[in-house]
Structure 1
Amino acid sequence: MADAAELKTAAARAAADEIRDGMRVGIGTGSTAEAFVRVLAERVSGGLSIVGVATSERTEALCRACSVPTVPLDECPELDVTVDGADEIGPGLALIKGGGGALLREKIVASASKRMIVIADGTKVVEMLGAFPLPIEVNGFGVFATYLQIRKVAASLGLSGDITVRKAGEGPFITDGGHLILDASFRRIPDPEALSRALLDVPGVVQHGLFIGLASEAIVAGSGGLSRIKP
């Protein structure tokens, strides 16, 4: 049985096969997206001509190290495809993302793309979202007030569980946009659409890790090979 790194690379190779000369490509963040960058770099070194847009400073640095050309999104605001990983893949290709802390930029880039291809190993496919803690990016100002409002929103939808400030060493994790992340361990999210709308109504919430209606396809690598999931 292949290990997780091999499965991620297999999915990344399948996604890289979808990239053609001249494409404008959004490039995600996280270990699976990093596998895609390395595979894409092989194709670029072999003559593939693309323009990439990175979803985080971490991905940008890896692209530079691997000689994958990138530009800021504002220089290339309409993309052909984004390739990114996911923390959970639920029914209808609803996703939880943001384990790597780049959910805001990932969602902006995915929304600017004609297609979003999700790459993952089989452990990420679930019958219901929620076992992976939902990242919620929030403004640092009034964070406790925002936390209390999120608690009320969760309770109104029958959700409960710990909501904690993500840490980086001794201090809080700070996103590339200068925000904090609250990780909400709801365990089960029966109605992702309702939760998405309710969270975005909280003034201190910048964005959340529920990606609904954005993914066009998921390429999932398992011990039995590759499978493709569509909405």
Structure 2
Amino acid sequence: MNEENLRKLSAEKAMEYIKNNSVIGLGAGRTISCLIELLSKAIDENNLKVKVVTPSDNTKSMCIKNGIEVLPTCFVEEVDVAFDGCGEVDENFYASKGGGGVFVKEKLIASMAKDYILLIDEQKYKKQLSVGYPISLEVVKDSLSYVSKRVKNLGGEPLVRTTNSKDGYLVTDDNNFILDIKFDTVDDFKELNDKLYDIVGVVGTSIFTREVTKLIMATENGVRVISKN
């Protein structure tokens, strides 16, 4: 089964968790794009009523083009179900994100959601998270040197993220910097995540240790759902 068909099957399975008159969270990626198409079709053909919150500008634009109402996250207290992708997720339901640079807002929506479901392929499902992906931190600008020093004390190698679209460091929508931290080994990702959050100036990390409730995983044999409980 090719990747496109697997993405469509994953999106179709995700639709089973979306109820009428609900607020849903959407991340970004090709499977999310498939889900948006299915949502638009259900709105047109079945009179499905949903509203969306998203940290992604691309997803927001796609929703608007498909006639799906997008709410400002700051006016939403709770999300019924949220869907996203990740770099890796393991058997503990710890997930590694951060590539898009909006992981703090992704984690906010994940925390608001009653159900936070990752749409993945089986290559991203690991026994334990690896150190193949850097751990990203969003940090207050004034804390950059201090946080970098503390990170080095924890065994990490920090690198400030830059962008090709402008000269200098990447600046988030909230006017912060992003540090990408490379670790040679990590024995306990939850413990490390807690230590990183203890550093004053760290707004958030790209490691999700509590939020994920389900995985919709595309495999060569179809789609499999794995629940945390």
TM-based fold match above 0.5: yes
Partner of 1:172: 169
Equivalent position amino acid for 2:7 in 1 = K
Equivalent position amino acid for 1:227 in 2 = R
Q: Contact 2:17–2:81 at 8 Å: present in 1 too?
A: no
Secondary structure at 2:115 match in 1: strand
Alpha-carbon shift at residue 60 of structure 1 (Å):
1.7
1:163 to 158, 165, 177: 158
CA distance in structure 1 between the aligned counterparts of 2:30 and 2:151, rounded to whole angstroms:
29
Q: Contact 2:215–2:226 at 8 Å: present in 1 too?
A: yes
Question: 1:189-204 residue pairs with structure 2 within 5 A?
Answer: 189-204=186-201
CA distance in structure 2 between the aligned counterparts of 1:187 and 1:33, rounded to whole angstroms:
32
CA distance in structure 2 between the aligned counterparts of 1:199 and 1:174, rounded to whole angstroms:
20
Alpha-carbon shift at residue 206 of structure 1 (Å):
0.7
CA distance in structure 2 between the aligned counterparts of 1:186 and 1:37, rounded to whole angstroms:
36
Equivalent position amino acid for 1:116 in 2 = Y
Partner of 1:14: 13
Alpha-carbon shift at residue 220 of structure 1 (Å):
0.5
Partner of 1:135: 136
CA distance in structure 2 between the aligned counterparts of 1:32 and 1:165, rounded to whole angstroms:
29
- Please identify runs of 4+ aligned residues in structure 1 that moved more than 6 A: none
Secondary structure at 1:107 match in 2: helix
Q: Is 1:181 matched with 2:178? A: yes
Q: What is the percentage of aligned positions where both structures have the same residue?
A: 27
Secondary structure at 1:172 match in 2: coil
2:215 to 214, 218, 221: 218
Q: Give the TM-score, by structure 1 length.
A: 0.88
Partner of 1:209: 206
Gaps of 5+ in 2: none
CA distance in structure 1 between the aligned counterparts of 2:102 and 2:8, rounded to whole angstroms:
21
The worse-fitting range, judged by mean Cα deviation, of 138-147 and 5-14 is 5-14
Q: Give the TM-score, by structure 2 length.
A: 0.89
CA distance in structure 2 between the aligned counterparts of 1:14 and 1:171, rounded to whole angstroms:
42
Equivalent position amino acid for 1:148 in 2 = K
The worse-fitting range, judged by mean Cα deviation, of 84-93 and 56-65 is 56-65
Alpha-carbon shift at residue 188 of structure 1 (Å):
4.3
Q: Contact 1:93–1:230 at 8 Å: present in 2 too?
A: no
Q: Contact 1:37–1:62 at 8 Å: present in 2 too?
A: yes
Partner of 1:34: 33
Q: Contact 2:92–2:128 at 8 Å: present in 1 too?
A: no
Given the superposition, is the C-alpha separation of residues 29 and 139 from structure 1 closer, same or farther in structure 2, using an over 3 Å criterion?
farther
The number of equivalent residue pairs is 224
Gaps of 5+ in 1: none
Given the superposition, is the C-alpha separation of residues 107 and 127 from structure 1 closer, same or farther in structure 2, using an over 3 Å criterion?
same
Question: RMSD of the TM alignment (CA)?
Answer: 1.9
Equivalent position amino acid for 1:124 in 2 = K
Equivalent position amino acid for 1:200 in 2 = Y
Q: Is 1:111 matched with 2:104? A: no
- CA deviations over 1:49-93 (Å, ceiling 9, x no partner): 111111233322222122211111233311111111111111221
Q: Contact 1:86–1:95 at 8 Å: present in 2 too?
A: yes
CA distance in structure 1 between the aligned counterparts of 2:225 and 2:118, rounded to whole angstroms:
10
